Amino acid sequence: MRRFLMNIYRILYQTYGSRHWWPGDTPFEVMVGAILTQNTSWRNVEKAIEKLRGKGVLNPAGIHHLRKSQLASFIKSSGYFRIKADRLKCFIDFLFREYDGNINRMRREKLRALREKLLNVRGIGPETADSILLYGLRKPIFVVDAYTKRILSRHGLISEEASYDEVQKFFMGHLPRDEKLFNEYHALLVHLGKMLCKKKPRCEICPLKDVRREAEGVRRKKCL
């Protein structure tokens, strides 16, 4: 299975190249983006981040001292801005409570313990927590999203009803624990999902179209 998954990675990388994901000038900016991108496009998130940067508050202390109503007005472009202002404030409160607002101190926390803490912050679910860990803090954890599940289920590698944890374990149980690999792999799957593996897939031009037969062979071996 490891060789099979790495073959998928190589095909996608040769087709699309490095995706340079997640965009952001600082780890904190990445974390803010991970929270704001829930249920909206990245273009709208970029506008909100630029607004925060322009106001000089794109840092832990800056957002910490904003009133929630002020923060909401700055991030309107991200959609659901009042809800997201609340979630962002909850995250910042957590950052100051646990790490005195220091990202480097947060980074020194062990992966499993930090993930549990993040999941206890209101408004932060598994995908957002893992995006913060992988893209913001460079921790070796695989991020799962709707594109990932769609691509794998269409190749018969997972069930359409597979949970987040099941899909994550599928990758992390068969791939080396490499933060850079997890980063690029997930980014490539997202790109494939956006470009070709949509709700109405364009299988005839998909770079993975010949992988289906190999997937069938892998599934048969698992059953033997």
| pLDDT of res. 163 | 97
Looking at residue 211, its pLDDT comes to: 80
In contact, 117 and 98? CB cutoff 8 Å: yes
User: Using an 8 Å Cβ cutoff, are 49 and 58 in contact?
Assistant: yes
**Burial (CB count within 10 angstroms: exposed 0-12, middle 13-18, buried 19+), residue 136:** buried
Query: pTM to 2 decimals?
Result: 0.92
- DSSP state letter for 21: -
pLDDT given for residue 155 in this prediction:
86
Q: How many CA atoms lie within 13 A of 115 on its CB side?
A: 16
- Return the pLDDT at 214: 64
10-residue averages of pLDDT along the chain (224 residues): 93 96 92 95 95 97 97 97 98 98 97 98 97 97 96 90 96 96 98 95 92 60 47
Question: Which domains are assigned to the chain?
Answer: 2-20+143-223 (1.10.1670.10), 27-136 (1.10.340.30)
Given a contact cutoff of 8 angstroms between Cβ atoms, the answer to whether 2 and 177 are in contact is no
